[in-house]
């Protein structure tokens, strides 16, 4: 695990070693153990290393036998030992025991198709001196990040945006066209970032760059959707999934340093911890985080699992002041506004783990591949009722019902919020309204029209919030559940993985996600819809697959989803602090939002007419991002209790 960076000039300019060192210094947290650079005229690559595998000889950049192919690599290749045997049989000679060298020899043998052989998480860059080509690739599901900035003079890339901004002459400027998608979802599901000109290499893609600056980007993997085989009994899927998950966990234990588990007390992380304990036949180190507010803490469940597994258990509590005081600092690590409040406790538990281990396994990815969120089952039922509703009730009446739910003064905020998720309040003719606005959007497109200034609205155009995510939905196929999973895996999950990567690497910890072994994902997402769900609960196959390992009270308890006391904190003086910050002249002078709309939002929240805590979170993070990442302001606490 490390951070990587590099530059390829398209003229006669040389890449100076000091430039690469400056870029590497911007991500020292990703790799505090080692640094390496390689330059060859117009090309330079660099890395910061967190030593995990082959501690003695795993230094990067690393080359092939004759020094014509050089690589920097971030990630882990879990099948590298198997690949090594095959490559040695083909005549390739190894100088190290690292998985990095396996990628080099695969590239020599197969060129860009080398990625098809890799099983793991990765972002890497290869300089091929023979062909004068720069080859960059990212893993199938987007577990590891890769950003780039392409101009007529050069391409600059790195594991974090701040690394690219460390390249001389690269400016940091907001791309205002991303704001509608951000206000709706909190994240960007396409290639764009918040920075003009800086883009993401998308998951499952590779890029090749020639000396003239011509680039070729190709998708090498997509989630395959096949017609569900309903001839197989449920027992087949339970047994097959258990075997594949156990194999994935086993492969993810590859390490020459201590490992642990992030344990929430939910099914996913508990299953990983249980399988890890079974495989190692010894207690594992588990790490949990919670809040002082008991109603929002899953620590009691984590303790039950830890006791059941006899793990070496560690806990940390996050207070309201911890949360708000660390927020600007963590936005700086993220480089973009933070999507979910749960990122903050994730950082604190990563810090806790750093004192004991270098690698943690997590339960990330199970919900999106095994239909773990209640929104999946709810949407299937909601869609069925909507079809009947639209067939029986005239459109004018349906519109009046929607309007009364949205505007009536006799419905309190709690009832309105619950009704707003049903077919009664949704436009069944619009998938954006029926699903995305229903479960993701803080600000729907119609709400944004009253928030943005006229200039921003004109710049972004109609349909901007949903443009990219609808492309994935329309590309999806299969049963409705498969389509929902496909869309979330391509969008929502990618952002969750960026949260996981950024917050763990901020604490110099490598996080691994065995549920996202790509063969396991392909199997899981093609389990028949009727076997995936039980009532409004998902992950039915997983729960049955690990019933011998975990208590029934853990497997079948209601899902909490690691809530944050954000709405409770906004009931106190913290709301006034945030309101004042967002209405400061400095904030309003950005001319993004109408002052009257922001004032109305806070007034409605104070009065209890509306629950605006998601919207306030979006606006706060965007403003702090401006100050921390664009204006380079010192990380000032935003807690109401700060001195």
Give catalytic residues, as residue numbers: 2
CB 302 within 8 A of CB 316: no
Reference 486, options 376, 340, 383; nearest CA is: 376
| Helix or strand run (H / E) with residue 10 | none
Reference 625, options 264, 29, 162, 288; nearest CA is: 162
> Alpha-carbon torsion 90, 96, 100, 104, what sign?
negative
**Tokens representing residue 589 in the block:** 């002078």
**Tokens representing residue 215 in the block:** 């680039």
Q: CB 358: neighbour CB atoms within 10 A? A: 20
**Tokens representing residue 131 in the block:** 């062909």
Q: Where are the alpha helices (DSSP H) in 140-233?
A: 161-165, 179-185
* Cis, bond preceding 61 (omega within 30 deg of 0): yes
Complete DSSP assignment for 187-209 = S--SSB-SBTTEEEPPTTEEEEE
Rounded CA separation 288/32 (Å): 24
**Tokens representing residue 217 in the block:** 């980007």
| Helix or strand run (H / E) with residue 535 | none
**Tokens representing residue 569 in the block:** 């904190």
CA distance readout (Å), 118 to 22, 80, 286: 31, 8, 29
Rounded CA separation 339/618 (Å): 8
Complete DSSP assignment for 276-301 = HHHHHTS--EEEEEEESSGGG--HHH
Q: What is the DSSP secondary structure assignment for residue 376, as one 8-state letter?
A: H
**Tokens representing residue 96 in the block:** 């190290």
CA distance readout (Å), 605 to 100, 147, 288, 323, 413: 52, 38, 32, 21, 10
Rounded CA separation 457/441 (Å): 17
For tokens 């943690």, the residue is 360
Buried/exposed code over 222-247 (b: 16+ C-beta within 10 A; e: otherwise): ebebeebeeeeeeeebbebbbebbbb
Rounded CA separation 22/14 (Å): 16
* Cβ neighbours for 216, distance < 8 A, ≥ 6 positions apart: 207, 208
Rounded CA separation 30/27 (Å): 6
Rounded CA separation 105/63 (Å): 9
Rounded CA separation 209/151 (Å): 12
């Amino acid at each position: 695990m490390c951070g990587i960076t590099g530059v390829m000039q398209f003229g006669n300019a040389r890449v100076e070693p000091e430039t690469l060192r400056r870029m590497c210094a911007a991500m020292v947290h990703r790799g505090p153990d080692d640094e390496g650079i390689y330059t060859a005229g117009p090309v330079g690559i660099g890395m910061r290393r967190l030593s995990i595998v082959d501690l003695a000889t795993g230094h990067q950049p690393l080359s092939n036998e004759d020094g014509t192919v050089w690589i920097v690599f971030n990630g882990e290749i879990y099948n590298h030992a198997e690949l090594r045997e095959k490559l040695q049989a083909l005549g390739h000679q190894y100088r190290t025991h690292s998985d990095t060298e396996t990628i080099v020899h695969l590239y020599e043998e197969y060129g860009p198709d080398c990625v098809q052989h890799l099983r793991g998480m990765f972002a890497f860059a290869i300089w091929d001196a023979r062909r004068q080509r720069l080859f960059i690739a990212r893993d199938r599901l987007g577990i590891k990040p890769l950003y780039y900035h392409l101009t007529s003079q050069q391409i600059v890339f790195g594991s974090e945006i701040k690394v690219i901004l460390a390249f001389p002459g690269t400016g940091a400027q907001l791309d205002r066209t991303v704001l509608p998608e951000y206000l709706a979802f909190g994240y960007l599901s396409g290639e764009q970032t918040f920075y003009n000109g800086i883009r993401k290499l998308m998951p499952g893609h590779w890029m090749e760059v020639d000396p003239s600056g011509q680039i070729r980007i190709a998708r090498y993997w997509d989630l395959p959707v096949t017609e569900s085989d309903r001839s197989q009994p449920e027992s087949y899927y339970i047994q097959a999934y258990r075997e594949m998950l156990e194999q994935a966990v086993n492969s993810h234990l590859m390490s020459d340093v201590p490992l642990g588990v992030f344990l929430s007390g939910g099914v996913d992380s508990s299953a990983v911890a249980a399988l890890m304990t079974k495989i190692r036949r010894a207690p594992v180190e588990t790490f949990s985080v919670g809040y002082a507010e008991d109603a929002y803490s899953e620590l009691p469940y984590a303790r039950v699992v830890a006791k059941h597994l006899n793990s070496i258990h560690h806990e940390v509590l996050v207070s309201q002041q911890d949360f708000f005081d660390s927020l600007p600092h963590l936005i700086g690590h993220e480089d973009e506004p933070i999507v979910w409040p749960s990122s903050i406790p994730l950082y604190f538990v990563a810090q806790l783990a750093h004192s004991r281990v270098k690698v943690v396994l997590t339960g990330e990815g199970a919900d999106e591949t095994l239909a773990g969120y209640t929104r999946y089952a709810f949407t299937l039922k909601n869609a069925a009722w909507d079809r009947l509703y639209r067939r029986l009730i005239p459109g004018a009446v349906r519109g009046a019902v929607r309007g009364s739910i949205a505007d009536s003064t006799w419905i309190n905020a709690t009832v309105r919020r619950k009704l707003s998720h049903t077919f009664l309040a949704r436009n069944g003719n619009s998938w954006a309204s029926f699903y995305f606005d229903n479960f993701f959007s803080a600000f729907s497109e119609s709400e944004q029209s009253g928030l943005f200034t006229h200039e921003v609205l004109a710049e972004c155009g109609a349909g901007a919030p949903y443009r990219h995510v609808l492309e994935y939905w329309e590309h999806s196929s299969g049963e409705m559940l498969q389509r929902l999973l496909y869309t979330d895996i391509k969008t929502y999950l990618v952002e969750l993985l960026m949260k996981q990567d950024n917050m763990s690497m901020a604490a110099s910890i490598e996080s691994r996600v065995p549920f996202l072994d790509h063969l396991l994902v392909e199997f899981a997402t093609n389990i028949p819809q009727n076997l995936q769900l039980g009532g409004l609960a998902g992950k039915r196959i997983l729960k049955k697959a690990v019933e011998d390992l975990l208590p029934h009270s853990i497997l079948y308890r209601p899902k909490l989803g690691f809530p944050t006391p954000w709405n409770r904190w906004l009931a106190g003086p913290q709301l006034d602090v945030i309101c004042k910050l967002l209405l400061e002249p400095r904030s309003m002078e950005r001319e993004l939002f109408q002052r009257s709309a922001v004032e109305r939002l806070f007034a409605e929240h104070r009065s209890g007419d509306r629950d605006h805590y998601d919207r306030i979170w979006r606006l706060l993070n965007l403003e702090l991002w401006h100050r921390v990442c664009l204006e380079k302001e010192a990380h000032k606490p935003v807690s109401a209790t700060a001195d």
